[in-house]
């Protein structure tokens, strides 16, 4: 029986509100067992880019990352957000260590191929060095990953944080029994997008396919769910989707995904 | 006999010129044995602060760090500069890992006491977790430290990079035979400040005291040398001061300090 490892991903709604972040990090510090945190950067990067006179271009909710935008992302995700989370976790006696995919060569990626759209310095994950990351975990450090990877040739890439979380979860499932948490602004996956109480409690891959055909899931949720079922079919034990308190309060509503 | 560990500090002149940095990192990658890199951020932070409308206040060459300036430093030192160095070292097959003092609680500090001047969020080093850092070194990772520390209560601090290098060197001298390198814009410590060829080859603490009394060292060099002799009297074996190629080319001029 493999030891449990929790991989927890938080989105912009958690990072952008310092009170919400503080509460989340307290809950994260109380989460039992070995764990990894993954965060994006959200509107903070857009805000700082704008102040620096760099226009943020989004297509289908994805950021087009030119050289200037990559610099801002490296500053905001890899510096400002990551190091403040690490310092706050240290104050909670979690021995946190902030990382990009370049650090210890943990996550490599390659530039997303140009089809209709050139996303610029956006990388699709190629490999996760689960043995290198495990050296940190075995040393009782708690890795905190931001949404940046590299190509092992000196180039950093902006990379989707949901994907980073699922790829880390898949890679580490060779060594651990992985529970993957996605914390976002809703209470879970909803049957009716406007009804916060319509949380789907449990969903297996069969139900998912049926509901997808029925058009239940909106455009923002579909790639998240694809990510989750990809993780489940690649070695991850369970996926939980809910608001940030899902990691500490199993009484509340949230969605559990399984194969 | 303890194993050798090199601690190498680079200043703004190396970081700000991408060609100089590239050459330095190639030399660093060829430096034999275990090693640690320490870098500041230099003018890049001033430049980005200025673009963000934040005025940089310097007193006696030290930056006054208000909350906005600390954010810029965290972005530039901890994100932009650190992660690009890590990615470039990875391309050279050095398994680099970027850190602030908050990461793995490696370097704690406390706010510099207010005397005539309130330096703001500037921290004086209190402790170095040499055992935690050694776990990374033993795992064959190469730590890359930027000039940021923390107070273990969630607060990050801007901290002098020369001091970080000497405190890391002192802390790790409990475990390793430490050679400490300071790479800067001159060829070494100069007898005559305007004459680049007047490099002092060797200087022990006795000679240092005599030359200091004679007023040989200018204001910028004095705190560097105080740092160095403090390190030497606290367990560090040797200190080398020179231009960035001092780490690879022992034929050129540079200064060696010893007790």
A64-76 pLDDT, tens digit each: 999 999 999 999 9
Q: Are the beta carbons of A75 and B71 separated by less than 8 Å?
A: no
What pLDDT score does A211 carry? 96
* Largest interatomic CA distance in chain B: 53
Looking at residue A59, what is its pLDDT?
81
Percentage of residues in chain A with pLDDT exceeding 90?
Answer: 86
Residues 58-117 of B with CB under 8 A from A: 71, 74-80, 82-84, 86-88, 90-91, 95-100, 102-105
Q: Using CA coordinates, name the residue in chain B closest to A25.
A: B154
The answer as to whether A58 is a domain residue is yes
Range of the domain at B84: 4-258
Please name the residues in contact with A172: beta carbons below 8 A apart, sequence gap of 6 or more.
Answer: A5, A7, A36, A128, A130, A133, A134, A178
**Mean pLDDT throughout A25-40?**
97
| Mean pLDDT (chain A, rounded) | 95
Cα of A259 vs its chain's centroid, Å: 20
Whether A125 has a pLDDT exceeding 80, the answer reads yes
Give the C-alpha separation, A205 to A193, whole Å.
20
Q: What does the alpha-carbon distance between residue B184 and residue B179 come to, in Å, rounded to a whole number? A: 16
**Closest C-alpha to B175, from B209, B143, B133, B207:** B133
Q: Is there a domain that residue A160 lies in?
A: yes
CB contact under 8 Å between A79 and B84, yes or no, is no
Range of lowest pLDDT (A197-206, B6-15, B60-69)? B60-69
State yes or no: pLDDT of A221 exceeds 80: yes
pLDDT in the model for residue A228 = 97
Taking only Cα atoms into account, the Rg of chain B, rounded to an integer number of angstroms, comes to 18
| Contact residues on chain A for B21, CB-CB shorter than 8 A | none
Contact call for A84 and B156, based on CB within 8 A: yes
Among A51, A79, A136, pick the best mutation site for testing chain B contact (most B Cβ within 10 A): A79
Instruction: State the residue for tokens 């996550």.
Output: A107
Mutate to test the interface with B, among A51, A68, A87 (most CBs of B within 10 A): A87
Which residues touch B195 (CB under 8 Å, ≥6 apart)? none
pLDDT at A90 over 90: yes
Mean pLDDT in residue range A173-193: 95
CA dihedral B191, B196, B202, B205 (to 10 degrees): 40
Helices B82-91, B18-30: axis angle to 10 degrees equals 50
Question: Best of A86, A92, A148 to disrupt the B interface by mutation (most B CBs within 10 Å)?
Answer: A86
pLDDT of A126 reads 98
Write a three-state SS string for A180-227: EEEECCCCCCECCCCCCCCECCEEEHHHHHHHHHCCCCCCCHHHHHHH
Contact (Cβ atoms closer than 8 angstroms) between residue B101 and residue B161: no
As a whole number of angstroms, the distance between CA B259 and CA B257 comes to 7
The pTM is what?
A: 0.97
| In a domain? residue A83 | yes
Choose from B87, B99, B105, B154 for mutation: most chain A CBs within 10 A: B87
Q: How confident is the model at residue A42 (pLDDT cuts 50, 70, 90)?
A: confident
Q: Which two tokens stand for residue B121?
A: 């969020």
**Token representation of residue A94:** 């979690």
pLDDT at residue A13 is higher than 90: no
* Predicted confidence band of residue B12 (pLDDT cuts 50, 70, 90): confident
Q: Would you call A20 helix, strand, or coil by DSSP?
A: helix
The answer to whether residue A178 sits within a structural domain is: yes
| Model pLDDT, residue B169 | 98
pLDDT in tens, B201-259: 999 999 999 999 999 998 889 999 999 999 999 999 999 999 999 999 777 899 999 99
At B140 the three-state DSSP class reads coil
Q: Dihedral, CA atoms, A124, A130, A132, A136, nearest 10 degrees?
A: 110
Mean pLDDT (whole number) for B70-84: 97
The whole-number average pLDDT for the span B24-38 is 97
Q: Give the per-residue pLDDT at A154.
A: 98
Contacts of A135 in chain B (CB under 8 A): 139, 141
Please, are residues A191 and A156 in contact by the beta-carbon 8 Å criterion? no
Q: Is residue A107 part of a domain?
A: yes
The total number of structural domains in chain B stands at 1
Per-residue confidence (pLDDT) for residue A256, from 0 to 100? 96
**Interior angle at CA B186, CA B183 and CA B189, nearest 5:** 90
Using a CB-CB cut-off of 8 Å, the residues of chain A touching B100 are 83, 86-87, 98
A218: confidence class by pLDDT, cuts 50, 70, 90: confident
Cα dihedral sign for A208, A210, A212, A215? Answer: negative
Cβ–Cβ contact B141 with A under 8 A: yes
Residue A250 has pLDDT above 80, yes or no: no
CB A99 within 8 A of CB A33: no
Spell out which residues of chain A touch residue B141, defining contact as CB-CB under 8 Å: 104, 135
Residue A229 to chain B, least CA–CA distance (Å): 31
**Residue B229 φ then ψ, to 5°:** -70, -30
Is the per-residue pLDDT at A101 higher than 80? yes
Residue A9 has pLDDT above 90, yes or no: yes
* CATH number of the domain bearing residue A78: 3.40.1160.10
Residue B36: name the closest of B213, B152, B168 by CA: B168
Q: How large is the average pLDDT for residues A19-48?
A: 94
Helix (H) or strand (E) holding A151: none
Dihedral sign from CA coordinates of B138, B142, B147, B150: negative
Distance from CA of A214 to the nearest CA of B (A): 44
pLDDT on residue A200: 96
pLDDT at A252: 86
Helix, strand, coil % over all residues of chain B, rounded to 5: 40, 25, 35
Residue pair A63/B57 in contact (Cβ under 8 Å)? The answer is no
Q: Tell me the nearest-neighbour CA distance from A82 into chain B, angstroms.
A: 9
| Tokens at B71, concatenated | 């954010």
What does the pLDDT look like over A145-166, one tens digit per residue? 999 999 999 999 999 999 999 9
Q: How confident is the model at residue A67, as a pLDDT?
A: 96
Q: Would you say residue A228 lies in a domain?
A: no
Mean pLDDT of chain B: 95
pLDDT of A204 reads: 97
């Amino acid at each position: 029986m493999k030891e449990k490892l929790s991989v927890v991903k938080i989105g912009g709604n958690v990072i952008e509100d310092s009170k919400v972040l503080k509460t989340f990090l307290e809950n994260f510090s109380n989460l039992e067992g070995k764990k990894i945190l993954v965060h994006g950067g959200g509107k903070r990067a857009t805000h700082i880019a704008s102040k620096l006179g760099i226009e943020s271009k989004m297509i289908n909710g994805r950021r087009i990352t030119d050289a200037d935008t990559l610099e801002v992302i490296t500053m905001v995700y890899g510096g400002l957000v990551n190091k403040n989370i690490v310092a706050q976790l240290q104050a909670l006696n979690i021995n946190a260590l902030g990382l990009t995919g370049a650090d210890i060569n943990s996550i490599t990626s390659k530039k997303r191929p140009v089809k209709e759209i050139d996303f610029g310095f956006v990388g699709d994950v190629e490999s996760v060095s689960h043995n290198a990351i495990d050296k940190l975990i075995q040393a009782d450090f708690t890795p905190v990953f931001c949404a940046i990877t590299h190509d092992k040739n000196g180039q950093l890439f902006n990379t989707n944080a949901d994907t980073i979380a699922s790829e880390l979860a898949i890679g580490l499932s060779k060594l651990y029994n992985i529970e993957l948490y996605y914390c976002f602004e809703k209470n879970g996956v909803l049957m009716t997008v406007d009804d916060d109480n319509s949380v789907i409690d449990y969903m297996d891959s069969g139900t998912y396919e049926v509901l997808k055909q029925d058009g239940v899931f909106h455009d923002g949720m579909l790639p998240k769910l694809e990510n989750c079922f990809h993780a489940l079919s690649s070695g991850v034990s369970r996926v939980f989707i809910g608001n940030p308190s899902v990691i500490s309060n199993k009484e509340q509503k949230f969605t559990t995904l399984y194969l």
